[in-house]
Amino acid sequence: MNTRHAATGPAYRRLGVAERRDQLIATAQSLFAERPPEAVSLDDVAREAGVSRPLVYRYFPGGKQQLYEAALSIAAAELESCFAEPHEGPLSGRLSNALDRYLAFVDAHGEGFTALLKGGSVVGTSRTHAIVDEVRRSAVAQIMAHLGADTSHTRLHMAVRTWITAVEAASLIWLDEGKEPSLDELRDWLMDQCVTVLAVTGGRDRATAELLRTAMAVEPVGGRVDELAARIAPLFAAVR
C-alpha cells in the first residue's frame, strides 16, 4: 500500500482540475460503497487517492459533507439515468431493463446506497434527502410515461410510487442479507410484483385497467407476464 501511495505521489501534478475533482469523487464513492459515510474520513479519501489532505480541502473546502454531497449528486444522476429506456416494445421488457440497471447500481454502491436511503446517516441533511426524493420522483415519472399515464391517474400514480418504495426496501434487505438471492432472481421477483401491483390496481380502477389492457396486448404469448399468470393461477385455485 505504501509503495503504491509513494508511486502515485507524482500523479499529484499530472491531473487537470476537472480530472482531479472527478478522481476524488470517484475515490469517495468507492469508499462510501464499502462502509457507512460516518466511517469514511477525508484522510481515507486522501490516502486512497494518493494525495494530501490539504489538496482534498482545496477542491472541497466544505470538507467531507461537501465531498459526500458531490458524490451523491453524481450517483443520483446515474440512478436517474437507469430509468431512461426507449419507449418501444413490450412494457415488461422496458421495466425489466430499467430494473436491471437499478439493481446493478445497488450492487455497485452497496453501503452508500443503504446510508442514502436510510437517511439516518450523520451526513444526511435536508439537502441530501431532497436529492434522493428527486431521484424517486424522476423514476416514478419515467415509469408513468412508459405506461402512457400522468399524475391525473391518481390510483396508478399511487401504485407506481408504492412499487418504487418496495423496490428500494427489497434492495436494502438484499444488501442486508449478503446479496441473496441472485440479482436475476431479485429482478424477476420485483418484476412479478410490478405486474401484479398494476393488475390489482387495474382490478379496482377503470383508467388503470384501460392502460393495462393496451400494454398487455403487446406482451408476447409465453413471455414474462403470461408465465407469471400461469405460475400463480394454481395457488389461487387452491381456495376451497
CA 32 – CA 136 distance, rounded (Å): 20
Instruction: Check binding of 173 to its own copies (CB under 8 A).
Output: yes
Q: How many other β-carbons are positioned within 10 Å of the β-carbon of residue 132?
A: 18
Find the shortest distance in angstroms from Cβ 170 to its own copies. 5
Among 87, 119, 145, 182, binds its own copies (CB under 8 A): 119
Among 66, 163, 175, 183, binds its own copies (CB under 8 A): 163
Find the shortest distance in angstroms from Cβ 218 to its own copies. 7
Find the shortest distance in angstroms from Cβ 174 to its own copies. 8
Cell of 23: 478522481
CA dihedral 205, 206, 207, 208 (to 10 degrees): 50
CA 142 – CA 147 distance, rounded (Å): 9
Instruction: Check binding of 217 to its own copies (CB under 8 A).
Output: yes
90 contacts 220 by C-beta, under 8 angstroms: yes
Instruction: Name the one residue in this structure whose C-alpha cell is 418504495.
Output: 165
Among 1, 2, 54, 236, binds its own copies (CB under 8 A): 236
Element (H, E) at 80: helix 63-81
Instruction: Check binding of 148 to its own copies (CB under 8 A).
Output: no
Please say which residue, 53 or 231, places its beta carbon nearer to its own copies.
231
Please say which residue, 16 or 236, places its beta carbon nearer to its own copies.
236
Instruction: Name the one residue in this structure whose C-alpha cell is 437517511.
Output: 119
Instruction: Check binding of 218 to its own copies (CB under 8 A).
Output: yes
Instruction: Name the one residue in this structure whose C-alpha cell is 490516502.
Output: 47
Instruction: Check binding of 39 to its own copies (CB under 8 A).
Output: no
3-state helix, strand, coil in the chain (%, to 5): 75, 0, 25
Among 2, 3, 126, 152, binds its own copies (CB under 8 A): 126
Characterise 84 by phi-psi region: left (phi > 0), alpha (psi -120 to 50), beta (else): beta
Chain residues that interact with its own copies, rule: CB under 8 A: 119-120, 124, 126, 129, 154-155, 158, 161-163, 165-166, 168-170, 173-174, 177, 180-181, 185, 188-189, 192-193, 196-197, 199-204, 209, 212-213, 216-221, 223, 225-226, 228-229, 231-233, 235-240
